[in-house]
Amino acid sequence: MEYYAYASGDVEAMIAAMLVMLAVCGIFMLAYYILAAISYYNVAKIRKMENPWLAWIPVVNSFLVGKVADDINKDYHKTTHRGVTLLVLNLISALSTVIILAVTFPLVFDLIDSAVYYGSSLPDQIVYDFLGKLMMVFIVVLLLMVVGIWEMVLRYMSQYTVFKEYAPQSAGVYLAISLVCQFVAGITFLPYIFILVIYKKTPQFQVLNAARSYNYNPYGYNPGGPGQQYGGYNYQSGTPYGGPNASPNQQSGPQNPQGANPYSYNQNPTQPQTPPQSNPQTPPGEPSQNQEGSNPTDNEQ
């Protein structure tokens, strides 16, 4: 009886230690959940995606993690299905975890009770039953490991897509720090902190579109050439806006040989511009000014 009381005290201490560990893990998981939900809720909201509140639903929030990456890839004409894939993987992972917990805890408690009751001489049938159930748990754990690795790779790929879109120059650094901290110290919430830091920055897609719009030219080169603000048509080179064949001293605007266009202007600002000479029309039957004063001897005659 004394041995049984001593063993029962050990079991109670073991159960208390397990409960404390579960409480600590629960606190960390809650903090991780809140941080992940806030980060992806804000990203989905700022990108004007549908149903950003999915970030607050456990397991389903993995769909939003992949969906944000799908939305970013869609801007670059890439079709991905990370949202659905991550959701399926997390559902399998959650189901496997429930099966493991449902089988493992009763199995362990039954084994402890049997060890307390029988002492060191456990019946073989109890040992065989325990090993059979343990093998089933082991198979489920292997499946859970495969699914977990796949989910982790896809999740980091989706997070890297967000890093690259909002902080392209630091995306690799963010990913490396996140991986090192997870595998060395078990810290998994750093990617969500990085996302909270960068999600308000201008997306790379908008930056590239702005650059394309600024440099857009249907003629395929810089209008007017270097140093020319508006450009014009160069009659000498035959190219619009000065073109690549225009001489460097040609300025912007209509550039024509003298007299080719009455609206041409002086290309040399140091010399005054002489407007083009034109003869006014004379009524029929009257001699023009040039005819009247062209030959003074004719008038004398």
**Structural domains in the chain (count):** 1
Query: Which pLDDT belongs to residue 119?
Result: 65
Q: Is the per-residue pLDDT at 36 higher than 70?
A: yes
Residues of the chain by 3-state class (helix, strand, coil), percent to 5: 65, 0, 35
Cα–Cα distance between 152 and 273 in angstroms, integer?
75
155 is a domain residue: yes
Measured in Å, how far apart are the chain's first and last C-alpha atoms?
A: 160
Structure tokens belonging to residue 26? 């629960």
Answer yes or no: is 129 within a domain. Answer: yes
Say which residues have a Cβ less than 8 Å from residue 242's Cβ, sequence separation at least 6: 223, 224, 225, 228, 231, 232, 234, 250, 252, 255
Band (65; pLDDT cuts 50, 70, 90): very high
Identify whether 291 is part of a domain: no
Strand partners, 234: 239, 255
pLDDT at position 296 is: 46
Average of per-residue pLDDT across 34-39: 93
For residue range 151-181, list pLDDT tens digits in order.
Answer: 999 999 999 999 999 999 999 999 999 999 9
Where in the sequence is the domain holding 163, given as residue range(s)? 2-209
193-236 pLDDT tens trace = 999 999 999 999 988 888 776 655 544 444 444 444 444 444 44
Could you tell me if residue 271 is inside a domain?
Answer: no
For residue 112, being part of any structural domain is answered with yes
149 part of a folded domain? yes
More confident residue, 12 or 293: 12
Residue 245 lies in a domain: no
For 106-143, what is each residue's pLDDT tens digit? 777 777 777 766 766 667 777 777 777 778 788 888 88
Q: Mean pLDDT over all residues of the chain?
A: 75
Asked whether residue 133 is assigned to any structural domain, the reply reads yes
